[in-house]
Amino acid sequence: MTTEHSAEVDLDVTNVAHGGVSVARLDGRVVFVADSLPGERVRARISADDHSSFWRAETVEVLEPSPHRRPHIWADAALERDPARRAGGAEFGHIELPWQRELKRQVLVDSLGRFGKLPEDHPARGVEVEAVEGDDAANGLGWRTRVSLHVDDDGIVGPYAARSHRVVAVDTLPLATAAVEYASPLDERLSGAERVDVISDGRRGARVVVRAEGRTAGAGTPITERVGEREFRLEELGFWQVHHGAAATLSTGVRDQLLEGEFDADAPNLDLYGGVGLLAAAMATRFGPATRIETVESDRRATGNAEFNLRDLKAATAVTARVDRYLTNRLKNATAEERGGFSRASVILDPPRAGAGKQVVASLLEFRPAQLVYVACDPVAFSRDLGQLTAGGYELRSLRAFDLFPHTHHVEALAVLTPAS
């Protein structure tokens, strides 16, 4: 059967796929269907016909709904809007919260098996996706402390339409905190602008930063975030977890998951992709202010803030460097005594969505620390790295997963690995 571009077809949706879409088949070809749920029968519009192995489609009508379907939490992203005008950023917004977490669990576990080569009987495959405190009571709304909006040639401000770079006008931002939503210039025209970032100021308000033709207009002063008893200074456009409870959740997770029996406070411990020092501080909170820890981050402004944020930890240092180059140079120049110290070290790594990658993982295998604490924001990239680590002689000791992005397909994982015995 030949299916023309934009043809409408009826599909039986079978399972969930990575990326916030579900899977169906048409004449033996895989179809990735947006705005659907496993177990549903939907009418969908084929939106791309340029792949030899699969098509993409957008749901236009639900013929047989899943019992887990709910009215979309964002009218601007709901089925009632034409697919070309549906706002992106809430691709699970039509699914009840507990089932969103189940689907995320399925994607994570499937990735662990397919890319991580984790055996079916491994305890980590029984992982559950944990909610952040307060999210269930809020129905997963009002958690984003940072929002990036785009501006089209007519000055209209809004998010991109799902799976596109086309700006769509919206009336609300239900995933944003009240302060961020209130400050967002959704009803304004910003001619000449390219992007608008609306950022919580770390307290009760929000800042609006407008980027236009290489220029950035905004306050420009740093933001102070508080996690537990510690404050963290960061640039207003610098990286920080977007969920208001994510930094505390990950700090607690890292602190609790570090294996005390494998830890040496005097070893050359590392926090790779360390940002402004959040997870290095978590390690020091667990094992004391004399803990030796070095954060490595390619953004010099983040490194400067990490140095400031960890100033009370006398054995903490911060280095501006690409992680791959840092590890290569560290290994190349290490003395025999220093290499011996590596085997006593604990290493935290929180790489970007693409994962650590083959070169960094290869260096870590040569570094061979006593324990690796891997914070992952993409299950496939993490599982690929995990496969390389386990093939290189490490074993997965524990795994937790957190729903830091309700109503989206994203899930955060926190793993601890040690050399296989």
The tokens 């304004």 sit on which residue?
188
Q: What is the pLDDT of residues 278-307, one digit of tens each?
A: 999 999 999 999 999 999 999 999 999 999
Is 133 assigned a ligand-binding role in the annotation? no
Q: 318 with 184, same domain?
A: no
CA dist 259 and 202 (Å) reads 32
Tokens standing for residue 261: 């029996």
Residue 182's domain comprises 146-225
Helices (H) and strands (E) counted in the chain, each on its own, are 9, 21
> What string of DSSP letters covers 128-188?
-EEEPTTTTTTTT-S-BSEEEEEE-TT-BEEPBBTTSS-B---S--TTB-HHHHHHS-TT-
**Partners of 226 in beta bridges:** 231
Q: 335 with 221, same domain?
A: no
Over residues 223-244, mean pLDDT: 95
Q: What is the pLDDT of residues 350-377, one digit of tens each?
A: 999 999 999 999 999 999 999 999 999 9
Is 273 assigned a ligand-binding role in the annotation? yes
Q: What is the pLDDT of residues 28-47, one digit of tens each?
A: 899 999 999 999 999 999 98
Is 359 assigned a ligand-binding role in the annotation? no
Is residue 52 one of the residues assigned to a domain? yes
Is the model more confident about 1 or about 235? 235
Q: 53 with 132, same domain?
A: no
Tokens standing for residue 368: 């061979």
**What are the angstrom distances between the C-alpha of 162 and each of 73, 85, 306?**
15, 8, 35
Q: Backbone dihedral region of 250: left (phi > 0), alpha (psi from -120 to 50 degrees) or beta?
A: alpha
Are the C-beta atoms of residues 269 and 241 closer than 8 Å to each other? no
Q: What is the pLDDT of residues 7-32, one digit of tens each?
A: 899 999 999 999 999 999 998 899 99
Q: 220 with 293, same domain?
A: no
Q: 160 with 218, same domain?
A: yes
Is 58 assigned a ligand-binding role in the annotation? no
Give me the catalytic one of 356, 377, 386, 401: 377
Q: Where are the beta strands (DSSP E) in 327-404?
A: 346-349, 371-376, 394-403
Is residue 88 one of the residues assigned to a domain? no
Q: What is the pLDDT of residues 75-132, one digit of tens each?
A: 999 999 999 999 999 999 999 999 999 999 999 999 999 999 999 999 999 999 999 9
Q: What is the pLDDT of residue 108?
A: 98
Is residue 230 one of the residues assigned to a domain? no
Q: 273 with 340, same domain?
A: yes
Instruction: Say whether pTM exceeds 0.75.
Output: yes
The tokens 């914070």 sit on which residue?
375
Q: 300 with 329, same domain?
A: yes
Q: 199 with 268, same domain?
A: no
Of 163, 194, 225, the residue at which a domain comes to its end is 225
Sheet with 195-200, strands from edge to edge, namely 157-158, 146-151, 195-200, 206-212, 215-217
Answer yes or no: 299 catalytic.
no
Tokens standing for residue 150: 């785009």
Of 29, 46, 69, the residue at which a domain comes to its end is 69
Q: 252 with 397, same domain?
A: yes
Is residue 86 one of the residues assigned to a domain? no
Q: What is the pLDDT of residue 218?
A: 57
The type of residue at 130 is: E
Q: Where are the beta strands (DSSP E) in 256-386?
A: 269-272, 293-297, 316-320, 346-349, 371-376
Q: Which of 283, 287, 307 minimizes the C-alpha distance to 297?
A: 307
Q: How many structural domains is the chain composed of? A: 3
Q: 254 with 187, same domain?
A: no
Is residue 270 one of the residues assigned to a domain? yes
Q: What is the pLDDT of residue 49?
A: 57
Please give the backbone phi and psi of residue 377, each rounded to the nearest 5 degrees, phi first: -110, 5
Q: Which of 69, 52, 61 minimizes the C-alpha distance to 9?
A: 61
